[in-house]
Amino acid sequence: MIRPMTTRKRILSRLHNASFCPKIMVLFLVIIIFIRLPSQSASKPPVIAKNGMVATSESFASRIGVNILKKGGNAVDAAVAIGFALAVTHPAAGNLGGGGFMMIRLQNGETTCIDYRERAPSAASKNVYLSSSGSVVPEASTRGYRASGVPGTVAGLCFALKKFGRLSLWEVIQPAIDLAEKGFPVSDHLSQSLKDSAKLLQAFPESARIYLREGKYFEPGETFVSKDLAWSLKVIRDQGLAGFYHGPIAQKIAQEYKAHGSWITQEDLSSYEPVIRVPLQGSYREYGVITVPPPSSGGIVLLEMLNILERYNLSELGAGSSQTIHFMVEAMRRSFRDRCELMGDPDFVEIPVRKLISKQYAESLRSSIQPEKASATTALPSRTQSGAEKDQTTHYSIVDNTGNAVANTYTLNGSYGSGVTVAGTGILMNNEMDDFTAKVGMPNADGLIQGESNGIDAGKRPLSSMTPTFLTKDGKLFLVIGSPGGPTIINTVLQVILNLIDFNFTIQEAIDAPRVHHQWLPDQLKVEIHGFARDVTVALRSLGHHVVADGYMGDAEGILLDPKDHFLKGASDPRGDGLTVGY
Ligand code: DON
């Protein structure tokens, strides 16, 4: 990726080009030596604050979050406020009609994962996306009414607030209502994102009316108002989650899904419940890792990769070197194979989690890695799209002034989900059913080849890759991190962690640094376009890796609590449109 010249480089180049008098030259040199300038590879220094911090993928949401912290709300209050706000300002991924995972670490060290992943409707079953000849019906699980699972976001946010928040639902949801009702200026990013998804949104009248203004696309600076979404948010404000799952919103969803011959019923909605799960715990070098459990594969895969990589001296091999990438990719290949073959909703399938995240198991995987040669996996065609990172899924990280932390990743799955907006609600519905295995051996929209363990069943949650994660150092919070990006999420989180721990990058540098991705099948090593020097990709090819240049991966939002000076240091990913705000 192309980075602006750092301050240090700019000063050095001025010294080189200008004919300064010797005294000024000496002064400049003293400044360069004694003042710590931002280091080489960061696009900018991290945001630094003492009290609290919020890093999200959209600026209005970040400001709302930090205002909640300033007025005495805790990290969970801010997380819930942000969750509702992003549904308005970042409609591609922020949502009421999707689901996700909220990881919470309280200042006393207690950790929880709220699983508010969507569930398959009760009418869904194993072969629902197959034609009579047994082939996968194109777009059946990605587009339109049949692509949606029963949404979990409102239940998850309301549960989090009730159990861990300090403020009322009214206080945390009102900022989102104001944004929806009074409107907010459309950013370049939102304007472009809506245009990019016009084909999908056009196909559904309510989406075309609200998000495309019937073809009069929103241009940057214009005001986006959504009265329908404001109505839904007010129903939730006044009636709580009952308004969504039992009351007027549930009625509208169930009626419309029925009218379109689809399956989300009033009963599916009223029986939806989030699940409180125990986060996975592991370690990487001298850091504790607290991460998301199944039905996300993210935590297991992350821990498997970290356990494998721990035995290599990566800092000596160097960031971005072909040897470091080779070992990373071999770890990715092995851990993603386990994802595809073994994982699914733990309420339906048994996953050998303890074994998979053990150091012993990692050792057995590592023993098959050759330093000089890529391992083989069968090559299969990929359906993954190249190009810039799309607005699919969104992650935010929060730390409050007492040290409570939240890592929340939630999504509609694809950008703008299924494309369906339920009439009268402004609510875009997810296409999360595509995360299931429609047919063993066939790739989903993320190119993932998945197994029986992730097959479709009534009430089941599809396997996810979302990876909201905390790191600790000496038992104290060190890092809050996560990203969107489908399967690349797990590898993005991995690479940010390695950049911090092995390469001693700042949080901004760790997030900025170019990324690679391998997911076992197809056997492709994707590298961010412009990210790596040619001799690195040549060296990787000579080891036997099938290197493919790809678009940007992920949109990581991270906050680090620096154990040295106790400042919060945060960064938003330059690949996205995020903002980190501290106070
Ligand atoms: O849960 C998952 O893994 C996916 N539904 C996430 C989708 C996603 O991140 C899309 N972004 N590129």
pLDDT digits (tens, 9 = 90+) for 234-271: 999 999 999 999 999 999 999 999 999 999 999 999 99
Quote the pLDDT of residue 25.
42
Residue nearest to atom 6 of ligand 1 (CA): 486
Closest listed residue to residue 353, CA positions, set 277, 273, 450, 286 = 277
Our mutation pick for probing the ligand 1 site, out of 102, 429, 446, counting the most ligand atoms within 8 A of Cβ, is 446
Given a cut of 70, whether residue 11 has pLDDT beyond it is no
Given a cut of 90, whether residue 13 has pLDDT beyond it is no
Given a cut of 50, whether residue 380 has pLDDT beyond it is no
- What are the structure tokens assigned to 239, written together? 């009636």
Whether the CB-CB separation of 478 and 284 falls below 8 Å is answered with no
528: which residues sit within 8 A by CB, 6+ positions away?
1, 514, 515, 516, 549, 550, 551, 552, 553
Angle, alpha carbons 415-470-520 (nearest 5°): 55
- Is 22 strand, coil or helix? helix
**Please, which pLDDT band fits residue 377 given cuts at 50, 70 and 90?**
confident
Residue nearest to atom 1 of ligand 1 (CA): 464
Quote the pLDDT of residue 214.
87
- Of ligand 1's atoms, which has the minimum distance to the CA of residue 489? 9
Quote the pLDDT of residue 389.
53
CA of 37 to the centre of ligand 1 (A): 37
Express as a percent the part of the chain with pLDDT over 90.
89
CA of 30 to the centre of ligand 1 (A): 49
Quote the pLDDT of residue 376.
83
Q: Bridge partners of 398? A: 54, 406
Quote the pLDDT of residue 200.
98
Residue type, 350: E
CA of 100 to the centre of ligand 1 (A): 10
Region 371-380: what's the mean pLDDT? 76
How far is it, in rounded angstroms, from Cα 464 to Cα 482?
13
- What are the structure tokens assigned to 315, written together? 């800092």
Quote the pLDDT of residue 390.
62
Other C-beta atoms lying within 10 Å of the C-beta of residue 97: 30
How far is it, in rounded angstroms, from Cα 427 to Cα 417?
11
Angle, alpha carbons 148-151-152 (nearest 5°): 150
Residue nearest to atom 2 of ligand 1 (CA): 464
How far is it, in rounded angstroms, from Cα 253 to Cα 260?
11
Q: Point out the residues that are catalytic.
A: 393
The residues lining ligand 1, judged by C-beta closer than 6 Å to any ligand atom, are: 390, 392-393, 411, 413, 432, 435, 464-466, 484-486, 489
Of 24 and 304, the structure prediction assigns the larger pLDDT to: 304
Quote the pLDDT of residue 256.
98
CA of 446 to the centre of ligand 1 (A): 8
- Sign of the CA dihedral 82, 485, 429, 200? positive
Residue type, 280: L
Quote the pLDDT of residue 26.
40
Quote the pLDDT of residue 43.
76
How far is it, in rounded angstroms, from Cα 352 to Cα 449?
20
Length of the chain in terms of residues written: 583
Angle, alpha carbons 397-400-401 (nearest 5°): 150
The pTM assigned to this predicted structure is: 0.92
Our mutation pick for probing the ligand 1 site, out of 101, 396, 432, 466, counting the most ligand atoms within 8 A of Cβ, is 466
CA of 12 to the centre of ligand 1 (A): 43
**Please, which pLDDT band fits residue 21 given cuts at 50, 70 and 90?**
very low
How far is it, in rounded angstroms, from Cα 553 to Cα 484?
8
Quote the pLDDT of residue 392.
83
**Please, which pLDDT band fits residue 16 given cuts at 50, 70 and 90?**
very low
How far is it, in rounded angstroms, from Cα 65 to Cα 168?
15
- Of ligand 1's atoms, which has the minimum distance to the CA of residue 390? 12
Span 22-58, pLDDT tens digits: 444 444 433 333 333 334 456 799 999 999 999 999 9
- Of ligand 1's atoms, which has the minimum distance to the CA of residue 462? 1
CA of 372 to the centre of ligand 1 (A): 33
Our mutation pick for probing the ligand 1 site, out of 153, 384, 393, 517, counting the most ligand atoms within 8 A of Cβ, is 393
**Please, which pLDDT band fits residue 349 given cuts at 50, 70 and 90?**
very high
Given a cut of 70, whether residue 2 has pLDDT beyond it is no
